[in-house]
Amino acid sequence: MKKLLGRTQHYFSLVKFSHTVFAMPFALAGYFIGATEPGYGFSLKTFLLVLACMVFARSAAMAFNRWADMRFDSLNPRTAVREIPSGKISPRQAMVFVVASSLLFIVSAGLLNRLTLVLSPVALAVILGYSYTKRFTPLCHLVLGLGLSLAPIGAYIAVTGHFAVLPLIYSFIVLTWVSGFDIIYSLQDDQFDRETGLYSIPAVMSRGKALMVSTALHIVTVTLVVMAGFTGGSGIIYWAGAAIFIIMLVYQHLIVKPDDLSRVDLAFGTTNGIAGVIFGLAVVLDLLLL
C-alpha cells in the first residue's frame, strides 16, 4: 500500500495536479453559463463528464510535456529533479499514462455530445502540440494559453452543443492571462533556453521587455474581464471577484523585477492560483444568484 501511494504521488507530481486551479474555475464558469441559459439546466452526468474531460486532458498534456522535454529537463538544474529525469517514473510509463489519459478524454467527450467528440482530437492536438513549440517559436506562451483557453468554451459546448460569444470571451481571458504569467515563469530559464537553442519571449529579448509583453497581455485580460461582465449582464458578485482578480494581476507585476526573480513562484503559482479560483467562483455564484 505504501508503495502504491508513493507511485500515485509521483504521478500527481508529474502532471502538477495542483495547477488544475488555472483552468478548472473557468471550465466551471463555462459549464454554468450554459446550464443557466433558458432551455438548459444542471445535469450531474454532464457536470461530472466535464470535470473528467478537464482532468484527463490536462493530465495527458502535462505528462506528454514532461516526456517530450525530458532531455532538456535533465540538463537544467531547476528541472532535473522532475519525475522522469530523476528516474521516479520511466519514459515508457509516462507515455502509457499519456495514451491512457488521452483515450479517457476522448471517451468522456464522446459521452457528452457529437460536437465535443468531433472537437476532442483538435483539443488534444493543441495541448499536446504545445510541448514542441518551444523548439521553434517564442510564441509558445500563447500556444499554452490557447490550450488552457479551451476549458470554458469546451464546457459550454458540453452543455449546449453549440458556440456562443460569452464563453468565447472567457476563453480569451484565459488565453491572455495564462500567456502573460507563463512569460513571467519562463524568466527563470532565459539563460538556459538561449544556451540550448530553445525559444521563449525572455530568451529572445531582455527580461525588462519580456515583462512589458506580459503586462500588455494582462492589460488585454483586464479589458476582456470588463467586457465579459457587461456582455453577461453580471451583478455585484462578479464585479467584486473581477476586482480581486485584477488587483492580483497587478500585484504579480509589482513583485517580479528584471533583476529580482526571487518571488516568481509566488507570482506564478500562489497569486494566479488564488486569483483564478476567486474569479471563477465569483462568475459561478453571480450566475446562480442572479
Domains and CATH numbers, the chain: 18-289 (1.10.357.140)
Q: How far apart are the first and last CA of the chain?
A: 48
Q: What is the pTM of this model?
A: 0.93
| Residues belonging to the chain | 290
Read off the amino acid at residue 241.
G
Mean pLDDT value across residues 99-115: 97
Which of 211, 232, 215, 209 is CA-nearest to residue 288?
Answer: 232
Q: Alpha-carbon distance 209 to 268, whole Å?
A: 18
CA dist list (Å): 15 to 66, 80, 83:
8, 15, 10
Q: How far apart are CA 287 and CA 273, in angstroms?
A: 21
Question: For residue 6, is pLDDT > 80?
Answer: no
Q: Which of 200, 226, 166, 231 is nearest to 31 (CA)?
A: 166
pLDDT confidence of 13, banded at 50, 70, 90?
low
Helix (H) or strand (E) holding 55: helix 44-68
pLDDT number for residue 57:
94
- Residue at grid coordinates 505528462: 63
Share above pLDDT 70 across residues of the chain, in percent, rounded to a whole number: 94
DSSP state of 154: H
128 has a pLDDT exceeding 60: yes
pLDDT at residue 21 tops 80: no
Cβ pair 126, 142 in contact under 8 A:
no
Grid coordinates belonging to 214 = 506580459
Distance CA 249, CA 181 (A): 9
Model confidence pLDDT, tens digit, residues 47-90 = 999 999 999 999 999 999 999 999 999 999 999 999 999 999 99
pLDDT at 102 over 90: yes
Would you state the cell numbers that stand for residue 251, as one nine-digit string? 500585484
Mean pLDDT throughout 158-176?
97
| DSSP structural state of residue 261 | -
